[in-house]
Structure 1
Amino acid sequence: MKVNGPNHTNVNPYQQQIQKKQTSHKSTTRQEDQLQISNKAKEMQAKDSRQAYVKEIQQQIETGEYKVNVKETARKILNFWK
């Protein structure tokens, strides 16, 4: 059941929001996305030991020699959820 008061008009309650969006889109310029990498992250990327480790694992996976230590993996999962 819908009850309308005596002063009912067809007014969109969101009309002001729509108008604000329309005027703000016209007046502002679009900003491009930016990516900022912290100095710590840059240092981590620069470490040759990490890159060598990743390449070693990639080679093991490609040759089929990579073996997952299931006990260590399970232990880390349980520690994460504790």
Structure 2
Amino acid sequence: MKINPYNQIQNIYKKQLEKAQPKGEVSKKKDQVEISTEAKLMQQESRIVTERKEKIEALKEKVQSGEYKVNPQEVAKKFYGFWNQ
């Protein structure tokens, strides 16, 4: 059984690399990404999202200031409706 030395295997790979890319030629190309107009539109916030954020901020302010009051009867009605559907 013949075992090839490590250096010979390494040389095989070097030869393949040299064939793929000649020495004098260095690749100066860069990766480039293009985003479609549809994708750009999807990234923009919609009117619904901005309105929802405004409503959440208003509720946060009411809760922090102590002005927000919970109606226990309405909460009970919602629970009852949810569990008895």
TM-score by length of 1: 0.43
TM-score by length of 2: 0.42
Question: Greater CA radius of gyration, 1 or 2?
Answer: 2
